[in-house]
Structure 1
Amino acid sequence: MVTLGVDGLVSGLDTTSIITNLMSVEAQPQTLLKSQLSATQAKATAYRTVNTRFDAIRSAAEALTSTSLAAARSASSTNSTVTASATSSAVDGSSVSFRVEQLATAKQVTSLEKWSSPTARADEQPKPVWPIKVLDSTGATVGSIVIPANATLTDAVSAINASGYGVHATIVQLAANQFRLQVSSDGTGTDGARTLQGADETADDPQSQTVGTAESGFQRSRDAVNAQISIDGTGYVRESSTNTFADLMTGVSVTVSKADPTATSPTTISVGVDGSAIAAKVKALVDAANGALGVIKGYTVSTAGSAVATLQGDRALVQLGDSVMDAVSSAIGGKSLSTLGLQLNKDGTLSFDSGKFTATLASDPTTVNRLLSGVPATTTDGVTTAAVPGFADKIAALAKAASNSSTGTLVQLANGRDTLANAIQDKIDGWDIRLANRKDTLTKQFTALETALSTIKNQASWLSSQINQLYNPNKSS
């Protein structure tokens, strides 16, 4: 490209400004295309934002299917020192009563030998002999604890605590200049118990029924005891190495924190419908729906004093918003969702009364299930009754139709804007080439003009000088 380095030296024209202004006029079609591209991309983004909201509606609605409602279970306890949790496999209405006979405890041993101070050499006493093996409840070696030469009793404690072998140690002072090593198992009950085997000791041999000499340098200060509960009225006892009894009933786990074998009345664990969990799921759906409605309104309705909404009056979005509100306001099986504390507000939002919902669920769970998850088709004496979709079914189907990754309305709208944006970008790129060529042409034309004017000016100067010489009266003959 030819670049005019200096503005019109001969013509006196501001060549750079003239070309810039001409190019601004020439580029108006491209400028309009760029504005159109920006608006198209903004619309694609808007559709995808709304799509994300509808996918959230789908997810929340699917959590309210008849299967998920039936699986919502909670377990209650009559004893504040006993807690219980229930999974979906727990049976509604089931219960069990028991007394807590004892809690699980961790094994603890204290050295027979004593040291004069925590800084005394750990190996100055005959027991234990290092390195020490740590054995689990089956007699298998978990690991070996080694201490460096001249290690102190404090160093030995640090090595035990850093081993990660299921034991921890401390130094116990029983009198002046009398310090003993105390080692406790991290886990409780018989399964969590650890045994210390010095380098000069042997382990138990179950096959030969030989009792080993492990922990000969320690005395048992606390036994490893399993937690125990006795099932009321049966005489049966259940044990656990921890204070938690997994699957005491199907899908129910119980954790005890206080032993009370002589309690006047047993602890009773009962399984029921988890109303708060279901209410939380309904609230999540309402929140998702309100989120979608708010985004739709923001994209389709312009407010005074602000720019025109990105999708002002977009029919597809307006219809989607109306469909969500219709799903709430429509009766299901002759009953309104207001029965569940769910209703449509005047401002186009949804509201949910969790307390009213929980109360209705407790008094009439069948109605709640029908309104939320509908009634399946049934056939009696050859006559089939059509299925009645519930609120969750209706809004889930609506959300799926809008947000399906391949056929969803919103996905197709966004993809359509992407296609249009690509076409506009191609036109913009074409204009880049056209405008570059046009600028090059203008630059060459103005350069040629200056060159022509310069030539004419030089010729005029030469002619003027020649004429002056011909008619100069002072010129000698």
Structure 2
Amino acid sequence: MGTGLTSGIDYTTMITQLMQIEAQPQQLLQSKLADVQKQAAALRQVNTSFATLGSAAQALTKAAAWNPAKATSTSSTVSASASAGALAGSLSFTVDKLASAHSVASTATWTNTTDAFGLGSTLTFKDLGETSEFGHVDLVDSDADGKVSLGEAVAQINKANLGYTATAVNTGSGYQLQVTSTATGTAKSFAIVSDTQPSSAYGVVSAGQDAQITIGDGAGKITAKSATNTFTGVMDGTTFTVSQTGVSTTLKVGTDTGAITSAVSSMIDAANKAIQAVKDNTDSSEGSTAALKGNFSLIQLADQIRTKLSDAIAVPVSSDYPTGSASPASIGIQLTKDGTITFDAGKFSAVLSSNPALAQQIAGGLTGVGLDGAANTPDDTVDTDGLAARLSVLAEMASDSVSGSLVTMANGSDTTAKDIQSQIDAWTLRLQQRKDTMTAQFNALETALSSLQSQGNWLTSQINGLPKWSSSSSS
């Protein structure tokens, strides 16, 4: 609006200052909105940590987590892996052959790749006995120059994607067509015949061959073959790959205790991170900027983690556990004075080696199948009160995407934020209307002042125009 020409009043500054006073309730709402949004973000941060804890704990309630297998080889030329549940054992063998791909080359030669192919318009790929067809390629004159060239034949064999690669090989005295199977093994050996040429038009460059190993060297020795250099199922649940002939090696398959220890360690790490997330976001100490200061529900969740990881576990009565209960500390899991959980991997590994079932019962806990007979469904029950089972249930109650307490609180904050935002928007409209009203009022005031000034100026001019009388003239 600027400064009034008549009054000299700076209306812009005046309106701005008045609106700042009028906007104070909205500013309080904006501050409240920022706090609520910060709370929602903090709740989701804590929820993420509990979801991570739930995943780590849930994994340890599955039998497969306690039966990981590890395969090792005594030779660097033989690599091996084992799936969960693979049978333990050892296997010694010698690598006799490596798998190779079948390859043939034309007996005919060409001066240039643009020369006419001349070995038929249809190439058919068959088994070596020529009783079964693997596929065929109908050659066409793609550049319409009146002939199918060697180069066109090579390109069209490759484009057909029948499992063969073609190459025009420059021998120095001309070109020959070489065709090689993309897969190794005897079963992938092939012959090429055409509508004008027999298979003898191609010679074998290298015969397709299976990889072969020999187990033992006596009269009862065993031979195993594979179409590739990777053998699967020779030992149940184990896969190994050979890369050199003449090598003797021994494979050993056993439980991967390191993987189990690592999984338990990951669960404890996740528990500590969840506890820390609660601590960081509920800190009520002087100067704290935590969004959820003193939130009792969250503090209680952290306390429940500590309780779940410190309360005794029911175990079979034995000389080591005469009362039928075991402290988590017996497998290296212990609550410290500062409220965090420590994990002694060495102590756990010792129990795992000496009594794997007990280690699983204390640290894990198996989820059983419910009345519907199907695993991983809502009616599944916890058969064993293990640490992982406890934490899995707790984390689910907190972070379930529908009913989790943390999710519910975060969604509640979102709803509150939306309501506050609606109030802020209403205030924005109200303040604009108030500003418009003030502007109109001050405009009217300035107009009135201008009118009064004009009237005053007229009266002044009228008075100044009256005759002037003096005392001397009247005498």
TM-score by length of 2: 0.80
5 Å matches for 1:339-418? 339-344=330-335, 348-352=339-343, 354=345, 357-374=348-365, 388-418=384-414
Q: Secondary structure at the match of 2:234?
A: strand
- Residues 277-324 of structure 1 show CA distances to partners (whole Å, capped at 9, x for unaligned) of 3233223323433332333233222687x7621112222222222222
Partner of 2:282 in structure 1? 300
Residue among 208, 218, 222 paired with 2:202:
218
Residue among 306, 312, 317 paired with 2:298:
317
- For residue 61 of structure 1, report the CA deviation from its aligned partner: 0.9
Aligned residues of 2:113 and 2:175 also touching (Cα < 8 A): no
Residue among 81, 88, 93 paired with 1:85:
81
Aligned residues of 1:135 and 1:143 also touching (Cα < 8 A): no
- Residues 98-133 of structure 1 show CA distances to partners (whole Å, capped at 9, x for unaligned) of 444432222122332345x6x365547x6x445534
Bigger shift: residues 134-143 or 316-325: 134-143
- Residues 213-251 of structure 1 show CA distances to partners (whole Å, capped at 9, x for unaligned) of 3x3112223221222334547555433211222222432
Bigger shift: residues 42-51 or 178-187: 178-187
Distance 1:469 1:362, change over 3 A: same
Residue among 283, 292, 299 paired with 2:265:
283
- For residue 46 of structure 1, report the CA deviation from its aligned partner: 1.2
- For residue 52 of structure 1, report the CA deviation from its aligned partner: 1.7
Work out whether 1:168 is the aligned partner of 2:171.
Answer: no
Q: State the AA in 1 paired with 2:242.
A: V
Partner of 1:469 in structure 2? 465
Q: State the AA in 1 paired with 2:434.
A: R
Partner of 1:107 in structure 2? 102
Partner of 2:6 in structure 1? 10
Partner of 1:140 in structure 2? 134
Q: Secondary structure at the match of 1:400?
A: helix
Q: State the AA in 2 paired with 1:217.
A: A
- For residue 16 of structure 1, report the CA deviation from its aligned partner: 1.8
Residue among 172, 189, 197 paired with 2:185:
189
Distance 1:173 1:25, change over 3 A: closer
Q: Secondary structure at the match of 1:280?
A: helix
CA distance in 1, matches of 2:454, 2:168: 110
Q: Secondary structure at the match of 2:401?
A: coil
CA distance in 2, matches of 1:21, 1:280: 64
CA distance in 1, matches of 2:240, 2:51: 37
Partner of 1:22 in structure 2? 18
Deviation above 6 Å: which 4+ runs of structure 1? none
Partner of 1:241 in structure 2? 227
Identity of aligned residues (%): 40
CA distance in 1, matches of 2:276, 2:124: 66
CA distance in 2, matches of 1:369, 1:30: 58
- Residues 338-396 of structure 1 show CA distances to partners (whole Å, capped at 9, x for unaligned) of 5544445565544545555445433331232112223799xxxxxxxx96511111111
Q: Secondary structure at the match of 1:107?
A: strand
Q: Secondary structure at the match of 1:318?
A: helix
- For residue 31 of structure 1, report the CA deviation from its aligned partner: 0.8
Aligned residues of 2:115 and 2:150 also touching (Cα < 8 A): yes
Q: Secondary structure at the match of 2:313?
A: coil
CA distance in 2, matches of 1:438, 1:416: 33
Q: State the AA in 1 paired with 2:386.
A: G
Q: Aligned residues, how many?
A: 439
Q: Secondary structure at the match of 1:140?
A: strand
- For residue 276 of structure 1, report the CA deviation from its aligned partner: 2.9
- For the aligned residue pairs, the C-alpha RMSD in angstroms reads 3.4
CA distance in 1, matches of 2:426, 2:169: 86
CA distance in 2, matches of 1:273, 1:161: 46
Distance 1:111 1:48, change over 3 A: same
Q: State the AA in 2 paired with 1:60.
A: A
- Residues 112-165 of structure 1 show CA distances to partners (whole Å, capped at 9, x for unaligned) of 2345x6x365547x6x44553444684221545657667776776566556543
TM-score by length of 1: 0.79
Distance 1:340 1:449, change over 3 A: same
Distance 1:47 1:57, change over 3 A: same
Residue among 273, 292, 313 paired with 2:255:
273
Q: Secondary structure at the match of 1:444?
A: helix
- For residue 48 of structure 1, report the CA deviation from its aligned partner: 1.4
Q: State the AA in 2 paired with 1:400.
A: E
**Unaligned stretches of 5+ in structure 2?**
315-324, 369-381, 471-475
Distance 1:152 1:358, change over 3 A: farther
- For residue 54 of structure 1, report the CA deviation from its aligned partner: 1.0
Work out whether 1:68 is the aligned partner of 2:47.
Answer: no
Distance 1:360 1:136, change over 3 A: farther
**Unaligned stretches of 5+ in structure 1?**
202-212, 378-385
